[in-house]
Amino acid sequence: MTHHDYHLAAEAGTFEIGGNLTVNRLGFGAMRLTGSRVWDDSAEPEDREGAKRVLRRVLELGINFIDTADFYGPEANENLIREALHPYPEDLLVATKGGAVLYESGGWSTDGRPEHLRKACEASLKRLGLEQIDLYQFHIPDPDVPYEESIGALAELESEGKIRHIGISNVTLAQLETARRIVPVASVQNRYSIAHRDDDDLVDACERDGIAFLPYHPLATGDLAKLGGPLGEIAARHDALAGQVALAWLLHRSPVIVPIPGTSSVDHLEENVAAASISLGETDMQILDAA
């Protein structure tokens, strides 16, 4: 079952981000395309043509949601997406983020100042070749800037038409509530997987309120994939890989979850897409939920 027929299965369903942007419920996280130097201040893909091939294959496979950030590279990731896919198909949603910065000397920091977010958003618009970013996400809360101020800056950009929908990332439930008092929040992007479920409460809150939950590191399996473990057993039963079952679990966990696994390999991308056709039964889900 590892490679299905190379197209995103209808079983995965769709989700309407912000109530009006329909995406298939398996997206693509573009971060890894920038290569092993993604945190470098001058990262470029080791194989630029190969990275562009992956992006084109993403669309061929039926994925219409790509997640990136100005921070990846920095800038290189957004440039690559434009180079490979512009002019974009009408149904493609390219989401990006602002609010984190890399230093030339190495290391990174948060920057949630309104003036930085404005500059970051405008630069992303240019790099991606867009007049409006469909989903712009505040990358990470800045401890030196009140969260309300950062979100307020995005609200302004939305009212100017530069952003269509606002998302937030790396947040607590309290920060989601704070943001929602200021703007409608279309998505939350946090680390979440079968092996890392600390944000169950956030997933439930998003499901209750129709907010997309975009788990990053969705393929993490931890000890569950160990020989004789529950994940391995269920994977064997479905003639699948542990990582595919981990993705299938996310798709079954909540209808608002849109996983965004990333890879720089076409083969791995096809494996991920095949996971959408795995139908986990009630018993499978009970075993995995309890694991």
Q: Among the options 72, 136, 147, 192, which is catalytic?
A: 72
Q: Is 192 a catalytic residue?
A: no
| Exposure letters 93-112 (e unless 16+ CB within 10 A, then b) | bbbbbbbbbbeeeeeeebbb
- Whether 111 and 150 have beta carbons less than 8 Å apart is answered as no
Query: What tokens were used for 96?
Result: 């990006």
| Active-site annotation, residues | 72
